[in-house]
Structure 1
């Protein structure tokens, strides 16, 4: 298990059909941190309102995150626009999880980072309404195709690759939106007098310095688990890094008393499933 000082996760979109819940679970199972910061759109309330799509993998992700809290990790939850109903509980703690509208994170090397989801800046960098509507429909179609492509590649033993992200990276208007968004978020951080900002929302993982007046401001975006399968991590020396989790998943089998699906070598998984037994966590966690 890889251990970090802090792990930032955003845009899991649990409840959305395009959510890569199995990969989220695989990542959380194989990484540990002193603090977990959930940077919005963890549960997609908008998608669930349209049609109920809550699989066992989605439930397992929630249970695994709660288990990290029970193990002693600190967890901060900054809701986004798709789970905006939770914003009314800002300042309260539920089951050891602190809900905040915004959060100031201090890194190991002393930098102060403003943590927010980022949907607040949609109005600042808004596209033409008709383009937004067309883009939303095209995005939904690309996610549907993305699921098919990911499944085929998985069957072929190939690592995860996002068709949706590739199409977005080749769209000029989308790139212009991303650039304006990043600059606007960095400008707010500079205005607040902090050293940088951590956000999500636009599904574009990035860590870079942005010029803001007579100084530079750190901009860090966690990415997402619909297109890119990325997390932002802080090492114990304060260094920030984007981690991509795109490897081929192994077959899973649930263990008794835990409720989670743990990765096993294929032959061992089939044997355990046939025998109807659960294996110790030390054997099942890769």
Structure 2
């Protein structure tokens, strides 16, 4: 309970909504575990799930394990789903909508207006909106990234998942928490009870300490990703590639020249130059023809890598 109390206090301070730690919060063994179990807890085999065709790879496996039928939402140029383009038939048969903003791999960020539209749509059609939010602190601006849970109607239809891996560098300790709709929380808790145990209390105490840290700590780390993104974008532009500066995250999502296979490109690039990128196909069917750059090196290394990436594109 101390971790859940700290989690709801943290959320209330950031978004102005005070949740009940007894029934609107649940400890997770990482957000990835939470999502996998949540899909099994709130939907039945054969139910439809609305999701994006470009997503974190584990989503596709979790959907398959839960026996759900993926319905891919069309994406706009900002990599946000075109909610108003969803057919009524798909909305009628969907039990879950799965979103993730700030996004992996595209680094796209959703607006409050977008999330409000998603909440309204899910309430109207009896859909649970699951928002996977591990990158909540990796925004480059001064304003916090929007959360659908705190919006009007959010409490009725939103389950939001948070992780300590990105904000507080506790990835190997596997700790997270779920906040939101009490019925979804209750179903998830009932499923988890016979399948796993809570984390070791020492790890949960670490989580409490993290949530009580000044926000400037996470903000300082976000600025590291911002500087690296700026360096990589500048180097790409200098080499002749018009990359866009992201507003959050730790990745760049780059479009390859038309007709270039992303898997073959990545294989050739790492063999010839030692630069390893992730092929877009690994992030779903909508990722073909793209590559993801992880900004996990200092600025000077990223600048050198940018020149090698563009040179390889010219050879493709």
Q: TM-score, normalising length from structure 2?
A: 0.27
* Richer in strand (by share): 1
Q: TM-score, normalising length from structure 1?
A: 0.29
* Richer in helix (by share): 2
